[in-house]
């Protein structure tokens, strides 16, 4: 029997055959591979070049072109990021520059790059609220009907064409109805009302009645056939406090987030959380149109992942578990070790931004930025869901959302907050991918 030799690396207890030792210089295979891995790493670190693709570029259009272009992945190249995020570059474009981006997007469509075209157009709507009315005929020529938000400002002519097409084009009907819901002008409200009273023959092919698509555009048909808006145009980001904010801490913040509540959840027993504690008399939050001092939106962060949770509130800070809540059949008991309340600390570092932003800033979730906000159009991860009020059954108005990615290191999903001001009821629900 051949005598085995000990591996040369310090601390390794493996033994190897002399033939292996001759090949590896006396190391066992795992040690040899580790040595090679480290050597490769060292080589990359010593020889990697940092590349600044934005060097010397001042035109924001050129910056955005680079941002939209696919990056060549190469371990030998370290890309230096641009000092501004993509959404910041978009937000700062002048009207002329936004128009140039629009032309670039349409050129990309001609070359068949529909994805990048769509990404640019959605960014122009979300960060600039730019009307895409002028390019809608081109989109339709190319059979692009998605996402619906692109059609938000369609002209009456484009609208009528879409209305004609929805009658015949069963392949695209779902996307066409979404586009129509985003247009949501008087003519459409009327059309949705007609579809509600006399459902079209194609309605049975849909999962929901045609008028239910209105939710995707942020509104619904009221009982009397008028349009009820379900979100506010005013929108303030919820952002991380930076050190310089300490300078104006003398002024009370109009909103606080993720405060632990003394009441416990009747379903799982853990303490409730105040997602948002809003000073509704503050000038920034007057858009909510509530008379009083304080609106608290509470929920159980565990249970609201499984069921919409209603709370009875008033505008002086009351928030009580609603008797209308119906415990779902499936509700995992929270593991007390897992019941980590570190998000409460994260909540203390959040504040309402000083300046409002575009209502649709966060409307297209996959664009990427963190989307916590009060007001504005919601960032639906799945389909739009405006809960029915537990008291009057009308759809509740969206008042804000917390993006868990901003709260916990590996957090994901969004908590959405709703209000029926007439009945003084809040609701929260959660979506994730
Ligand atoms: Zn070894
Ligand atoms: Zn609970
Ligand atoms: Zn109500």
Per-position DSSP letters for 74-120, written without gaps between them: -TTEEEPPPSS-HHHHHHT--HHHHHHHHHHHHHHHHTT-HHHHHHH
Q: Which ligand is nearest to the CA of 264?
A: 2
Cα of 287 from ligand 2 centre, angstroms: 31
> Residue 225: left if φ>0, alpha if ψ -120 to 50, beta else—which one?
left
Cα of 332 from ligand 2 centre, angstroms: 10
**Structure confidence at residue 368 (pLDDT):** 78
Q: Which ligand is nearest to the CA of 418?
A: 3
The span from the CA of 148 to the CA of 33, in Å, is 53
Q: What is the tens place of the pLDDT at every residue in 403-413?
A: 999 888 888 89
Chain Cα centroid distance, residue 258: 19
Cα of 397 from ligand 2 centre, angstroms: 23
End-to-end CA gap in the chain: 59
The span from the CA of 379 to the CA of 360, in Å, is 9
Cα of 16 from ligand 1 centre, angstroms: 9
Q: 264, 272 in Cβ contact below 8 A?
A: yes
> 3-state DSSP call for residue 191?
helix
Tokens 């015949």 appear where?
168
**Structure confidence at residue 323 (pLDDT):** 96
What are the angstrom distances between the C-alpha of 52 and each of 55, 72, 77, 86?
A: 5, 13, 10, 16
Cα of 327 from ligand 2 centre, angstroms: 10
Cα of 313 from ligand 3 centre, angstroms: 12
**Structure confidence at residue 410 (pLDDT):** 83
The span from the CA of 81 to the CA of 79, in Å, is 6
Cα of 302 from ligand 2 centre, angstroms: 5
**Structure confidence at residue 119 (pLDDT):** 95
Cα of 267 from ligand 2 centre, angstroms: 5
Judging by beta carbons within 10 Å of its beta carbon (0-12, 13-18, 19+), is residue 209 exposed, middle or buried?
middle
Cα of 301 from ligand 2 centre, angstroms: 7
Q: Which ligand is nearest to the CA of 26?
A: 1
Peptide bond into 147 cis (omega under 30): yes
Cα of 285 from ligand 3 centre, angstroms: 21
Cα of 266 from ligand 2 centre, angstroms: 7
**Structure confidence at residue 66 (pLDDT):** 96
- Spatial CB neighbours of 163, under 8 Å, sequence gap ≥ 6: 180, 188, 191
Residues of the chain with pLDDT under 70: 1, 243-250, 334-340
Exposure of 320 in the CB half-sphere (CA atoms within 13 A): 8
Q: What is the tens place of the pLDDT at every residue in 298-314?
A: 999 999 999 999 999 99
Q: Which ligand is nearest to the CA of 394?
A: 3
Cα of 270 from ligand 2 centre, angstroms: 6
Cα of 264 from ligand 2 centre, angstroms: 8
Query: What is the tally of helices (H) and strands (E) in the chain?
Result: 11, 17
- Spatial CB neighbours of 223, under 8 Å, sequence gap ≥ 6: none
115 DSSP 8-state letter: H
**Structure confidence at residue 250 (pLDDT):** 65
Q: What is the tens place of the pLDDT at every residue in 331-380?
A: 877 666 556 677 888 888 999 999 999 999 999 988 878 899 999 999 99
**The two structure tokens encoding residue 134:** 């002028």
Q: 298, 275 in Cβ contact below 8 A?
A: yes
Cα of 180 from ligand 3 centre, angstroms: 27
Cα of 395 from ligand 3 centre, angstroms: 8
Q: What is the mean pLDDT of the chain?
A: 92
**Structure confidence at residue 343 (pLDDT):** 83
Q: Which ligand is nearest to the CA of 392?
A: 3
**Residue (of 411, 430, 419, 402) closest to 307 by Cα position:** 430
- Spatial CB neighbours of 172, under 8 Å, sequence gap ≥ 6: 143, 145, 165
């Amino acid at each position: 029997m051949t005598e085995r030799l000990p591996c040369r690396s310090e601390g390794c207890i493996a033994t190897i055959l002399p033939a292996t030792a001759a090949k590896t210089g006396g190391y066992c295979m795992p040690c040899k591979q580790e040595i090679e891995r480290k050597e490769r790493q060292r080589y990359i670190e010593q020889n990697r070049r940092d590349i600044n693709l934005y060097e010397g570029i001042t035109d924001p259009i050129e910056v955005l072109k680079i941002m939209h272009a696919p990056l060549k992945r190469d371990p030998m190249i370290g890309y230096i990021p641009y000092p501004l995020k993509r959404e910041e570059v978009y937000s700062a474009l002048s009207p002329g520059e936004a128009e140039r981006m629009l032309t670039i997007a349409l050129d990309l469509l001609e070359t068949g790059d529909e994805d990048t075209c769509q990404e640019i157009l959605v960014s122009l709507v979300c960060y600039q609220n730019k009307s895409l009315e002028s390019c809608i005929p081109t989109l339709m020529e190319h059979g692009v009907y998605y996402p619906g938000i692109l059609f938000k400002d369609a002209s009456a002519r484009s609208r009528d064409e879409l209305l004609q097409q929805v009658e015949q084009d069963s392949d695209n009907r779902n996307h066409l109805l979404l586009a129509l819901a985003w247009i949501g002008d008087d003519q459409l409200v009327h059309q949705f009302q007609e579809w509600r009273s006399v459902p079209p023959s194609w309605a049975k092919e849909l999962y929901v009645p045609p008028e239910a698509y209105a939710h995707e555009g942020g509104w619904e048909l009221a009982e009397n056939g008028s349009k009820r808006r379900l979100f506010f145009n005013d929108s303030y980001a919820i952002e991380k406090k930076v050190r310089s904010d300490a300078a104006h801490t003398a002024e009370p913040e109009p909103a606080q987030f993720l405060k632990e509540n003394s009441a416990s959840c009747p379903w799982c027993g853990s303490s409730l959380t105040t997602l948002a504690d809003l000073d509704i008399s503050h000038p920034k939050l007057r858009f909510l149109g509530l008379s009083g001092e304080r609106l608290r939106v509470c929920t159980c962060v565990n249970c609201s992942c499984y069921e919409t949770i209603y709370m009875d509130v008033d505008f002086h800070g009351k928030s009580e578990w609603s008797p209308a809540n119906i415990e779902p059949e499936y509700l995992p008991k929270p593991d007390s070790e897992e019941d980590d309340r570190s998000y409460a600390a994260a909540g203390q570092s959040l504040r309402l931004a000083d300046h409002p932003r575009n209502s649709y800033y966060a409307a297209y979730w996959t664009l990427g930025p963190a989307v916590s906000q009060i007001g504005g159009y919601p960032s639906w991860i799945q389909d739009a869901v405006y809960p029915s009020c537990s008291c009057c059954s009308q759809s509740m108005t969206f008042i804000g959302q917390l993006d868990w990615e901003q709260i916990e290191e590996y957090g994901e999903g969004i908590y959405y907050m709703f209000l029926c001001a007439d009945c003084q009821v809040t609701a929260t629900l959660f979506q994730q991918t």
